Amino acid sequence: MRAACQGFPLSPGRPRFLSAPLYLWALPVTIVGLAVAGIARLSGARASLDGGTLEIVGGHLPRVLSPDSRSSRLCAIALGHVVLFATEDDRRSARAHERVHVRQCERWGVLFPFAYLAASAIAFLRGRDAYRGNAFEREAFDLAPLGHEEARQGNVGGTQEGGRL
């Protein structure tokens, strides 16, 4: 599709008025995201709206998302219609991937955090990596691998680089 994610649609082809129920369904998770976003803003993080999603970047988020730089690095996390990115580079490389998680939250609503954790537990019990083997992550990586600025189709998960959560 297009090169940049400016205005990346949450649900391509769906009339905007049909999105309202999805926002309501995801609202409990979004409220958690807004609370975290507010705290991040106090630390100097920047906020912007893109494609119906509030994006928060910078401030203390790099230290909060990846307190131990020697281990794997969590570069972004989606909480409903709020996506937190550690850095601008992370926003560029993980935006499309995180939008898949936003759409997943629209489908699962308040159940999404529990479904996400259950998917990690199932992956672990099957001998897979709890992050990369998670069904929600597999979908997100299939549709929007990290480093790609857009997904092939138009969906609380996180994105990490370089290993395990």
Contact (CB, 8 A) for 149 and 95: yes
Query: Of 140, 143, 144, 146, which one interacts with Zn ion (CB under 5 A)?
Result: 140
Q: Is 139 in the site for Zn ion (CB under 5 A)?
A: no
> How far is residue 83 from each of residues 7, 34, 110, 159, measured CA to CA in Å?
14, 9, 16, 11
- 11 makes contact with Zn ion (CB under 5 A): no
Cβ contacts of residue 112 below 8 Å, gap of 6+? Answer: 26, 29, 104, 105, 156
Q: Minimum distance from CB of 53 to Zn ion (Å)?
A: 15
User: Toward Zn ion, which CB reaches closer, 40 or 137?
Assistant: 137
Q: How many residues does the chain have?
A: 165
Q: How far is the CB of 87 from Zn ion (least distance, A)?
A: 17
Q: Is 159 in the site for Zn ion (CB under 5 A)?
A: yes
Q: What is the binding site for Zn ion (CB under 5 A)?
A: 137, 140, 157, 159
